[in-house]
Amino acid sequence: MASPVLSASLPALRVSDNHHYLVRADGRPFFWLGDTAWELLHRLDRQETQDYLRHRAAQGYTVIQTVILAELDGLDTPNASGALPLVEHDPARPNEDYFAHVDWLVAEASVQGLYLALLPTWGDKWNRAWGKGPEIFTPENAERYGEWLARRYPQSHIIWILGGDRAVETDGQRAIIEAMARGLRRICAGRQLISFHPSGGRTSAQWFHDAPWLDFNMRQNGHEILYGDRYAGTRLDYDRTPAKPVIDAEPVYEDHPISFKAAELGHSTAGDVRRPLYWDLFNGAFGHTYGHHSVWQMYAPGRAGINAPLMPWREALDQPGAAQMQHAKRLLESRPFLTRVPADDVIVPDDVATAMPGAGRYRFLATKDGAGSYAMIYAPVERRFRVNLGAIHGDKIRAWWFDPRTGVATPAGDYDGARIQEFTPPSTGYGLDWVLVLDDAVRGFGPPGDKSLE
């Protein structure tokens, strides 16, 4: 059927000409700042949903990631209005009462200026693994379901995300995903982007990098707090051939049991979620997704919590890390965006490489403009480091310290170009990370994060 949603939609998105970023239809850069609200359609009523969307829009978010057939018993526990999504678990028999609420969300997200990264289903409906299921999809009904969704929701602010936190373990499971993608693509015909959300520590590229329907790679680097192979994997996906954009759509959540081991490792903090933000971006990601452990499940008093949430979802909306994500967005938008590349050549390695560029949670990373107008170095800890100023084109280099906690930039002096220069972050103490920004002075850039160059 045709979509009943009548509101105007946001500009369509497409892959940039260099295949590493997303841009709007007119070519302007698009920064994906996402929030995981997996249970949004399943657990919140319309007033609560509107409050949530307005809050995240005010905090600078641009994408909301949510699920139609939800994870937490989404087939048999009704949504807030008492509706189930399917009649007798049949994807060919969608319940109009349930999808009327999906219609409303699609329209309201557009009103709030938010794109929807919409999962047709959570993964336990096609690959139960550790989930509750039941498995309801076959290649035949998955393709029809994909077609039905694409016809009902042709809006340009929808991004389709297949998968739902599962690995592809059999040929039959692959056939289901390929069929659902085929159904979506047959109708949306390139007007909407499609990707795949894998399980923890994995990437969509593992199964689908060469698939023509996969517009960008999506990673789930997962609920760890170390650098390790998972965040280095973002760079591996950036370097793949053919080139495709990459994003970490599920890093460690704020206030989440670290590695699911709360008794042993405790819960994550704002500092723990900032590190993956800059690690992923400086490794070449086109944007980033934040998550809070109470918000993804929309935890509230009287509702059974999954893995020990620390507070209700409304309170969690204002946790420090949630507000600090927008500072990275503003930082990157204040400098040339589409020519930014990972920059291993900016940081001068120490004789002891585990000190600099470092290892684990103390890994330093750099990014720069491929045209040489600026470079940025993420310093997750107070430690002196040396920079190759020759990586920036210019006789005079202007330095700034950018505070990831406040978004405030402070001048750090002018330096002669084409030399090795030592820097020390301006404060000490646990969790006091910084970004050093180095500009070609003649470009006349304003303070980092001050305003977008769009």
Indicate whether 263 and 114 sit together in one domain: yes
The pLDDT value given to residue 295: 98
The pLDDT value given to residue 430: 80
Indicate whether 361 and 275 sit together in one domain: no
The pLDDT value given to residue 451: 80
Indicate whether 101 and 212 sit together in one domain: yes
Q: What backbone torsions phi and psi does residue 401 show, to the nearest 5 degrees?
A: -100, 125
The pLDDT value given to residue 167: 97
Instruction: Indicate the number of domains in the chain.
Output: 2
Q: Identify whether 450 is part of a domain.
A: no
Q: Identify whether 448 is part of a domain.
A: no
Report the alpha-carbon angle 52-56-61, nearest 5.
145
What gap in Å lies between CA 114 and CA 158, rounded to an integer?
Answer: 9
pLDDT in tens, the chain (454 residues): 444 444 457 999 999 999 999 999 999 999 999 999 999 999 999 999 999 999 999 999 999 999 999 999 999 999 999 999 999 999 999 999 999 999 999 999 999 999 999 999 999 999 998 888 999 999 999 999 999 999 999 999 999 999 999 999 999 999 999 999 999 999 998 899 999 999 999 999 999 999 999 999 999 999 999 887 889 999 999 999 999 999 999 999 999 999 999 999 999 999 999 999 999 999 999 999 999 999 999 999 999 999 999 999 999 999 999 999 999 999 999 999 999 999 999 999 999 999 999 999 999 999 999 999 999 999 999 999 999 999 999 999 999 999 999 999 999 999 999 999 999 999 888 889 999 999 999 999 999 999 877 7
Q: Identify whether 173 is part of a domain.
A: yes
0.85 exceeded by pTM: yes
Residue 108 identity (one-letter amino acid): E
> How many CB atoms neighbour CB 140 within 10 A?
13
Report the alpha-carbon angle 318-320-323, nearest 5.
70
Chain centre distance of CA 191? 21
Indicate whether 164 and 266 sit together in one domain: yes
Q: Residue 133 sits in a domain of what CATH number? A: 3.20.20.80
Indicate whether 296 and 417 sit together in one domain: no
Q: Identify whether 357 is part of a domain.
A: yes
Domain that holds residue 301: 13-333
What gap in Å lies between CA 395 and CA 314, rounded to an integer?
Answer: 50
Indicate whether 324 and 345 sit together in one domain: no
Supply the Cα-derived Rg of the chain in whole angstroms: 22
Contacts of 88 (CB under 8 A, 6+ apart): none
Residue of 351, 398, 400 lying closest to 379 (CA atoms): 400
Which residue among 310, 333, 356 closes a domain?
333
What gap in Å lies between CA 73 and CA 89, rounded to an integer?
Answer: 12
Which residue among 284, 307, 333 closes a domain?
333
Termini Cα distance of the chain: 37
Contact 84, 42 (CB under 8 A): no
3-class SS string, 355-387: HHHHCHHHCCEEEEECCCCEEEEEECCCCCEEE
Indicate whether 244 and 371 sit together in one domain: no
Q: Identify whether 428 is part of a domain.
A: yes
Indicate whether 293 and 429 sit together in one domain: no
Q: Identify whether 273 is part of a domain.
A: yes
Indicate whether 194 and 73 sit together in one domain: yes
Residue of 26, 15, 28, 91 lying closest to 337 (CA atoms): 28
Indicate whether 66 and 184 sit together in one domain: yes
Which residue among 333, 368, 396 closes a domain?
333
Indicate whether 307 and 357 sit together in one domain: no
Indicate whether 315 and 370 sit together in one domain: no
Q: Residue 400 sits in a domain of what CATH number? A: 2.60.40
What gap in Å lies between CA 334 and CA 238, rounded to an integer?
Answer: 22
What gap in Å lies between CA 276 and CA 278, rounded to an integer?
Answer: 5
